[in-house]
């Protein structure tokens, strides 16, 4: 059996009010920051520490959620708006994404709906089919993290859903579904791509479950996500800070696995949540610095990090100092890149002092410039 899962027409019809709401809302795709100089201060972290959600087993927990949340506030992004629409619910999310991204979303169906949509007398007859390797079962709300293997098939969950259906009590709306059935992709490589409103943050993309990510891989994954992002309505992009989990299949196609929303979650794991990529203890500060630098370029602002010592929590003082150092380094990188670009546009004889220089001098200059560009590529 190649793929027994298909999009359910009734589920698609039931989310029409949500889609119309998204398309009616008058939001700019990109917010306008309240000022050109934005300040992230250690002295203000206490209010951003309120109601942070501590993720479950296997996921990092650290102070690094705070500067991400502080950045959203400084940019004027609403950390609650999108999550009030329950777009973190994996079935609602898949159905909405299907509207705008089509075949880039693997066919998805609520578990109860999947069990009841077949014209058979006993849903238990579907159990062997569900347990085949080309079907994935995962909760509609949760982390789906690799360490817990929560995302994979669970016999107990299926049996409970079967009992519900046999009793004539299946759920009636996609938002009530607790689990989804989804096509299992033949994945060659999986990536986490971060976006800030209507733009991909290029240098935060990484290949999941792998030690390194090549520049070529990043470019390909980023281009796919940006294309999908451009298809979405304004109200689905504005205020959104997201971590997209996407995959390149063994056939070379690209698919969206799910989108993880940064912001204040009200149902599962109540509190502020963000991508675990930022809260990794060793390199999280550098990733936050990259996010800040991208925000500076994207919104044409300057972000000032104030590291005033906080005797109540010296760890924040040290953390913000590291982030400030990382941000300065990235600004220097951009200045250096601009310098190299300008130098390349100048005729070589003018750079090295006249046309009378021997060919080896010109060759040396070309080689030196190429090495500098290579150095920049390594820094990326």
- Strand 241-249 and strand 37-41: pairing? unpaired
Supply the mean pLDDT for the chain: 83
Classified as helix, coil or strand, 269 is coil
Q: pLDDT digits over 269-288, tens only?
A: 788 999 989 988 889 999 99
Q: What is the pLDDT of residue 254?
A: 98
Q: What is the pLDDT of residue 232?
A: 95
Average of pLDDT values for 119-133? 63
Q: What is the pLDDT of residue 343?
A: 66
In the structure, what pLDDT confidence band is assigned to residue 145 with cuts at 50, 70 and 90?
Answer: very low
Give the Cβ contact number of residue 333 at 10 Å: 15
Q: What is the pLDDT of residue 270?
A: 83
Average of pLDDT values for 318-339? 88
Average of pLDDT values for 203-231? 94
Q: pLDDT digits over 37-74, tens only?
A: 999 999 888 889 888 876 654 444 568 899 999 999 99
- In Å, how far are 90, 116, 155, 240, 347 from 161, measured between CA atoms? 18, 10, 10, 33, 72
The pair of three-digit structure tokens given for residue 120, joined into one six-digit string: 């058979």
273 vs 122, residue with greater confidence? 273
Strands (DSSP E) found in the chain? 37-41, 108-110, 135-139, 179-183, 187-196, 199-200, 206-207, 241-249, 254-261, 263-265, 271-273, 302-306
- In Å, how far are 120, 154, 226, 344 from 123, measured between CA atoms? 7, 16, 41, 68
Report pTM.
Answer: 0.85
Average of pLDDT values for 226-246? 96
Average of pLDDT values for 162-186? 85
- Strand 206-207 and strand 187-196: pairing? antiparallel
Sheet holding 179-183: strands in order across?
108-110, 179-183, 135-139
The pair of three-digit structure tokens given for residue 255, joined into one six-digit string: 């698919």
Q: What is the pLDDT of residue 59?
A: 42
Q: What is the pLDDT of residue 218?
A: 94
Which residue bears the tokens 């520049």?
Answer: 215
Given a cut of 70, is residue 160 above it in pLDDT? yes
Contact 236, 197 (CB under 8 A): no
Closest by Cα among 130, 132, 152 to 142 = 152
Q: pLDDT digits over 181-191, tens only?
A: 898 899 999 99
Please tell me the distance from the alpha carbon of residue 88 to that of residue 107, in angstroms, as a whole number.
17
pLDDT above 70 coverage of the chain, percent: 77
Closest by Cα among 174, 216, 162 to 191 = 216
Q: What is the pLDDT of residue 50?
A: 86
């Amino acid at each position: 059996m190649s793929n027994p899962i298909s999009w359910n027409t009734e589920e698609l019809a039931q989310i029409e009010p949500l889609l119309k709401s998204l398309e009616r809302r008058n939001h700019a795709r990109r917010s306008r920051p309240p000022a050109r100089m934005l300040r992230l201060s250690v002295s203000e972290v206490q209010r951003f520490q309120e109601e942070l959600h501590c993720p479950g087993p296997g996921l990092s927990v650290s102070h690094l959620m705070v500067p991400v949340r502080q950045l959203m506030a400084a940019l004027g992004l609403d950390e609650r708006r999108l999550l009030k629409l329950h777009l973190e619910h994996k079935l609602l999310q898949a159905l909405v994404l299907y509207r705008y991204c089509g075949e880039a979303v693997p066919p998805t169906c609520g578990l109860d709906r999947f069990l009841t949509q077949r014209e058979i007398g006993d849903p238990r007859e579907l159990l062997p089919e569900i347990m085949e390797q080309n079907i994935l079962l995962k909760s509609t709300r949760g982390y789906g993290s690799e360490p817990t293997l929560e995302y994979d098939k669970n016999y107990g969950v299926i049996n409970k859903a079967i009992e519900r259906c046999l009793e004539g009590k299946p759920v009636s709306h996609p938002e009530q579904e607790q689990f989804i059935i989804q096509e299992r992709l033949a994945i060659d490589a999986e990536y986490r791509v971060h976006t800030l409103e209507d733009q991909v943050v290029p240098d935060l993309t990484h290949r999941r479950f792998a030690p390194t990510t090549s520049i070529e891989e990043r470019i390909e994954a980023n281009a796919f996500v940006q294309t999908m992002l451009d298809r979405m309505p304004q109200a689905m992009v504005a205020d959104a800070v997201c971590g997209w989990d996407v995959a390149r299949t063994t056939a070379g196609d690209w698919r969206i696995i799910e989108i993880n929303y940064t912001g204040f979650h009200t149902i599962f794991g109540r509190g502020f949540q963000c991508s675990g990529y930022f809260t990794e203890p060793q390199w999280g500060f550098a990733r936050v610095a990259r996010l800040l630098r991208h925000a500076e370029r994207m919104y044409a602002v300057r972000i000032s990090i104030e590291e005033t010592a906080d005797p109540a929590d010296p760890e924040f003082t040290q953390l913000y100092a590291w982030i400030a150092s990382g941000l300065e380094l990235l600004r220097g990188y951009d200045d250096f890149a601009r310098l190299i670009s300008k130098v390349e546009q100048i005729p070589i004889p003018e750079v090295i002092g006249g046309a009378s220089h021997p060919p080896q001098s010109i060759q040396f200059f070309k080689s030196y410039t190429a090495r500098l560009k290579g150095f920049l590529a390594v820094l990326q």
